[in-house]
Amino acid sequence: MIGISDSLKEFDFSQMVICRSCGRYGRYIVYMTYTVLSLFFIPTFRWNKQYFVRMSCCGKTYRLNPDVGKRIARGEDVTINPEDLEEVNTGCTQGDIWRNANWSGEVKTCSNCGYTTSEDFDFCPKCGRRF
């Protein structure tokens, strides 16, 4: 069984900032979107990696400099500077994040394991439960 799907991975990163958009305190939520090839439900190859930052206070989303994103993915201690961010939208929902990464369609999240996909699966490719 071979499958290709779009996925999202949130990183354990915390940096408190004053939001440039709404002026409130918030934190950067850093995540990576990617396309993955799975063989027998095992992710084997990832490509089209893009890094994003979403503000916890208002949902404003920025595209993150790929070099900074890679360092965060490796677990390095990084400070995100304003010049590392490129505005993507003015405020968003989870579905908007996927559309901003050049995907379309409905986003499904498994209530059992949290797997997120934009593919039209009836069952979760990760744990096998019905969506």
How sure is the predictor about 102, in pLDDT bands with cuts at 50, 70 and 90? very low
Under 8 Å between Cβ of 33 and 7: yes
Under 8 Å between Cβ of 47 and 109: no
Q: How high does pLDDT run on average in the chain?
A: 83
Q: Could you report the per-residue pLDDT of 41-76, keeping only the tens digit for each? A: 888 888 999 999 999 988 899 999 999 999 999 999
Q: Positive or negative, the Cα torsion across 32, 99, 97, 120?
A: negative
Number of Cβ within 10 Å of residue 112's Cβ equals 13
Distances (CA, A) of 4 to 43, 45, 51, 116: 9, 10, 19, 13
Q: pTM for the complete prediction?
A: 0.66
